[in-house]
Structure 1
Amino acid sequence: MGLKKKAILLDIEGTTTSISFVKDVLFPYVKTHLESYLNKNWNTDEMKLDIKLLAEQADQDIVNNVPGVVPVKETESEQALKQSIISNVLWQMSLDRKTKALKTLQGHIWLDGYNDGQLVGHIYPDVFPCLLKWKDAGLKLYIYSSGSVAAQKLLFKHTEHGDLLHLFSGFFDTGVGPKVESTSYRNILNEVSCDPDQVVFLTDIVKEAEAANVSGITPILLVRDGPLSSTSQFTQVSSFDQIDVECS
């Protein structure tokens, strides 16, 4: 007898998608295409907004005395501004920051990569058939990732199985709160109009599982690489096809 639920909330990195895809494909793509992207899109309204967000974030970092912050001054010459943007973005990426300014620009660069076929969203082989099965069974599927909603949609729109966006009922990023805080999951529950015991959360991060558990959601830990832990209080699986969930 499977778990009786109404919805499945899914993490991305290490859960639906290889961590190496993000670390070894998406992030390097931004670094190698950043300058050419700036040159190509410099005079667009979208680029001007991206620059404004980066400048505001840099100003805030300066106020907060963030070590190593690279100023972004919109009053600089074009070449100086471009160089400061490049330096700021690379600095933020070196710290694996999750700022809105950085995530927004990364998303726009990735969009170019997906549209021209240089990027294809990775999902594990067991994920696609299980998503189809759960969707067909009447379960609502949602994504919750630290990556922006825009980046999440890009990944699932451009997979080797084609556009999978139709399988999902919603997407959440850290706009609802950090993934290690239980209030974030309560915010999601309010958004999807579900009681806690109606939702299962799939993640590879123990602290996220703990936060979801505090909110009343049932967590399942994905252990894609390495042995299962004998000390974890949560159910552990190495692939989606080991998860037995039925629509209540």
Structure 2
Amino acid sequence: MSILLEAPTTADYKNPMNIEKSDLPKIEHAPQTLRDIVQERMRTAIIEGHFAPGERLVERPLCDQLGVSRTVIRETIRYLEAEGLVEIIPNRGPIVALLDWDQAEQIYDIRKQLEGSAAAVCAQCYGGDFAAQLREALATLNASMNDSEWIGVMRATTRFYEVIFYEAGHAIAWDIVQRLNGRISRLRVLTLSAKDRPKPGFSHMTAIYDAILSRDAQAAQAAVQAHILDASAIAQRFLRKETTKVENDG
């Protein structure tokens, strides 16, 4: 005679330690890989001017300085090339991408459209804890102005705009800005270091903040455009001066 066995159900299993069942804890920050660390260090070095525009990026010295393999360096160079920070020159190899006004002007035009639109929409529709998030982002930016390195200012500025774009629902526009972020950051370092800036960058950011929280869409867009026009004028003077210098040296 055969015996028919029924499959056990979840109720048949006992919890010997009487542990209350709960969801697994979410991993908030995935650990960085070696490649991620090298990419971030190289990216920061280029943005802050450790490597000059046009300077060759030679694999062997980079391997020795960073203590990594040639494979990691090659992957990093490909990543930085995609971000517009590195150029591959035939018969010469990778160099730090040159900055010129034609490219910079296009970047500023894109920023003016996307950032101005996001600020205007945000002023009209923001809610929830947005005001607190933007206030925190502005405070972080203000604190970073005293840093000896520019990378803190870059990150704080990026966070300030990220809060605005996402509250406006402009996630795709933010993705476009992020793809240009390496080149935007290089231009920011140029303009932030200028001594003859008519209005400090942080004053512009405060004007954007005030206009958005006042729900004045027109003023928010105008504040963004004033900020970008100021920065672009400084970048234009610097880059044209550098272009003239290169031509004379050549």
Tell me the TM-score normalized by structure 2: 0.29
Higher helix share: 2
Bigger CA radius of gyration:
2
Higher strand share: 1
> Structure with the greater relative contact order (CA < 8 A, sep ≥ 6): 1 or 2?
1
